[in-house]
Amino acid sequence: MSIDINNTLQAVPVVPLVQSDDPATAVLVSRALAAGGLTVAEVVFRTDRALECLQAVAEEVPEMIAGAGTVLTAEQADAAVDAGARFIVSPGLDDGVVATAKARGVPVYPGIVTPSEVQHAHNLGLDVVKFFPASIAGGVPALKALSSVFRHMRFMPTGGVSPGNLADFLAVPAVLACGGSWLTPADAIAKGDYEQITTLAKEAVEIARQARGEQK
């Protein structure tokens, strides 16, 4: 993991998901998130113009550490890095995606659920993995069980994380950060209500601050 992302996530352990089919909108969403204190975002590859959206955010929002999410293939990973992605996130664990990210010198966070997948990720040389879908894959109890066995691994739970359970996830010492789409609601984006996104980001930052503060 690169030092800048590591330090940023240690301080503000929340990674919002940016999903758009319009680069200009992706830029506005990313600026709104950064204004709320969240400066690491995952631009997900779930739309036809996702690559353009990623490139726009990478070029036009310098305060944002932009990564690519929902990366399924090595070819997508390569294209994402070419477009400016500073990290790669996948819903599952694929050797080709991991190898490409490593070859291109960017952090990669593949999705895992089972102990076998965590062990495989560990043996690929990774020390941080995405735990997805977190809420239906066992949530906090599952993370505690996995981290008790894989003591040197850290996790980024995503999927079903919300303001209501964010603090619970962040209270697990093995959790580096949490990902979430609740920070970029589709209805707010459709209305152009970017202030709501900034407000949600500020709320997440405060929840994270209190959750991490309680561990001290």
**Contact yes or no for 121/156 (Cβ under 8 A):** no
CA distance 11 to 208: 9
Element (H, E) at 89: strand 88-89
pLDDT surpasses 90 at 159: yes
Which pairs count as long-range contacts for 120-123, CB under 8 Å and 24+ apart, including other chains? 120/93, 121/93, 121/153, 122/150, 122/152, 122/153
CA distance 132 to 112: 6
Instruction: Name the average pLDDT for the chain.
Output: 95
pLDDT surpasses 80 at 2: no
pLDDT (tens digit per residue) in 85-109:
999 999 999 999 999 999 999 999 9
pTM comes to 0.94
Q: How many CB atoms lie within 10 A of CB 105?
A: 9
* Per-residue confidence (pLDDT) for residue 216, from 0 to 100: 42
Of 163, 188, 159, nearest to 69 by C-alpha is 159
* Per-residue confidence (pLDDT) for residue 1, from 0 to 100: 45
Q: How many CA atoms lie within 13 A of 139 on its CB side?
A: 11
3-state secondary structure of 83: coil
Element (H, E) at 35: helix 23-35
What the block records as the tokens of 103 is 């070859």
CA distance 127 to 112: 12
Supply the residues annotated as catalytic.
Answer: 42, 130
How confident is the model over 54-73, as a mean pLDDT?
98
The dotted CATH code for 3-213 is: 3.20.20.70
